[in-house]
A and B are shown apart, each in its own frame.
Chain A
């Protein structure tokens, strides 16, 4: 403030005077950093710490026993099965949607992008309900499914469908802006030089979007493993059969088996940490490519 009053601003060792006119006094800076760190500490660091503390409080052996107990193993196996189907599906969808949207100009594109965002906006509980009403025994297709001896709701296929719905946008949302930003010149030159469409995709496009694909897949995977509200409605919570990891955590918690609940939670929390670590890595690489000198 005082720098504005005096005609020749006093020199400071920290920053040039012209910069200080657009900077806050040190105490305000410290106050704001303090507020931000307190807020993030309370809402991000402590919940994570409480999960890890709860999981390992009684030692590694108790933790290991909790995650290798038969119901926990069944939940882990089911969760892995579900993501092994859902993630490749949404990966193919994401790459195809991004290709269509980024490489071509067509009518209704913005409507299409909004539709892809739709699952973000819908409550997971409503997602589950939609499929119970459509495919459940009392639902529209229920009698037909029963006639053909197909069980979808309160069984694994229902879980796969609702998770595919809920995690549909992740790869697409990662790739659309990335591919739009990269334009289509490289693909056009590749095609002009005689490569066919497949060769162009594998050798030109894919190397360019590789890191976006990796982050999209990891985020999609983390969200698929953690999906809760929608699965809670369609799974029927049959222990050892249709309980995914989050549902198993709920069961354990409601039975006051807190250490076991936190032990299974620690696996998913670890996955969440890996996910944000990969995101930082991808962004850091991106930054270095854009401004090589700065980093």
Chain B
């Protein structure tokens, strides 16, 4: 039976390793997710629709999707610049900076949350200067964007960096010899090669931002209809024991996550064709 499914090999342990992997995935991941979707499926369509289309919930979708989109776009632009600078230029402290890019990935979200709100509050190190410019970040929608930008920062840098490292300099030389200036080379030679990686990083940053909770709730202020993200509403409903309501909204978020995961997989497959590793 197993022989039909896999190619023969002298290496032992296929049955036990794959068996344990599937058992663990099934127990912790698949059965709970399946049960959760079944729970939502038992709701009547009217109840489900009422829960997911309530005005306050719709306002939270707009904020969550909108702020995640803006944050991912910011990370697309600045992440591309950071990746470019780290791969192509030499400057003091480059190694340390390169390592620091992973910080949002390792930093607990609650710590990031209280750090960002302290920094961007009207009395904070950065907030006080933005206040002079008339910009309020803490407890506004802009604050949500700041937190989501922080959380998504490593993704574009880390997907673009290896592709840029592998990019053949000879292509740029050929482009220059054929008379293109630097801007044309960037637009016609470099960017097309980086496009899949840029999109992958963008989608990863967006997906991460969409579900983010810890770093946002401190800086957002959580005003209904204004600065309430969807994950916060799920927590609020769960804390009031409104499990069907929470499950309905959670299912919407879960389905959005599945769609994004499929998209990211397709993009990664496309990126892989541009890296030779």
Residues of A within 8 A of B (CB): 1, 4, 18, 21-24, 29, 32-33, 35-37, 39-40, 42-48, 50-51, 54, 89, 92-93, 96-97, 99-100, 103-107, 112, 114-126, 128-134, 136, 138-140, 161, 164-165, 168, 181, 184, 187-188, 191-192, 196-197, 200-201, 219, 222-223, 225-229, 232-233, 245-247, 249-250, 253, 258, 261-262, 265, 268-269, 271-273, 275-277, 279-280
Contacts and interface: CB of A to CB of B under 8 A. Distances in A.
Given A123-B254, A129-B238, 10 more contacts: A21-B176, A35-B81, A47-B116, A106-B6, A165-B32, A228-B108, A228-B110, A229-B109, A262-B114, A265-B114
A249 B208 CA distance: 22
A117 B214 CA distance: 21
Contacts of A253: 114, 218
B109 A39 contact: no
B106 A275 contact: yes
29 contacts: A1-B181, A4-B176, A33-B91, A39-B78, A44-B101, A47-B107, A96-B20, A97-B17, A103-B11, A104-B11, A115-B30, A120-B207, A121-B261, A123-B210, A123-B250, A126-B231, A126-B253, A129-B238, A130-B35, A131-B32, A188-B10, A225-B108, A226-B109, A226-B110, A228-B214, A268-B111, A271-B106, A272-B108, A272-B111
B166 interface: no
Given A106-B18, A121-B257, A276-B102, A228 B176 contact: no
A124 B247 contact: no
Interface stretch (B44-52, B54-62, B92-100, B194-202): B92-100
Contact of B211 (A4, A21, A122, A258): A122
Contacts of A23: 182
A132 B238 contact: yes
B210 A129 contact: no
Nearest to B244: A133
A278 to B, nearest CB: 10
B20 A187 contact: no
Q: How large, as a class, is the contact surface on chain B? A: 35 or more
Given A36-B81, A48-B115, A51-B111, A133 B103 contact: no
A197 B105 CA distance: 36
Contacts of B24: 89, 93, 168
B9 A107 contact: no
B21 A124 contact: no
Contacts of B105: 219
A233 B243 CA distance: 12
B214 A123 contact: no
Interface in B202-258: 207-208, 210-214, 218, 231, 234-235, 238-239, 241, 243, 246-247, 250, 253-254, 257-258
A197 B100 contact: no
A233 B242 CA distance: 13
Given A106-B5, A168-B29, A276 B213 contact: no
A229 B116 CA distance: 17
Contacts, number: 299
Contact of A272 (B106, B247, B265): B106
A100 B17 contact: yes
A249 B111 contact: yes
A37 B106 CA distance: 20
Contact of B110 (A50, A138, A197, A249): A249
Interface string B106-144: 111111101110110000111000000000000000000
A122 B257 contact: yes
- The 3 A-B residue pairs with the shortest CB-CB distance, nearest first, are A226-B108, A123-B211, A229-B213
B270 interface: no
A43 to B, nearest CB: 5
A130 B116 contact: no
Interface string B5-47: 1110111111011101110110011101101100100000000
B212 A123 contact: yes
A136 B32 CA distance: 12
Contacts of B246: 129
Nearest to A98: B17
A222 B124 CA distance: 27
A184 B9 CA distance: 10
A225 B111 CA distance: 11
A40 B97 contact: yes
A33 B89 contact: yes
A246 B241 contact: no
A122 B111 contact: no
B83 to A, nearest CB: 9
Contacts of B102: 275-276, 279
A13 to B, nearest CB: 16
A50 B118 contact: yes
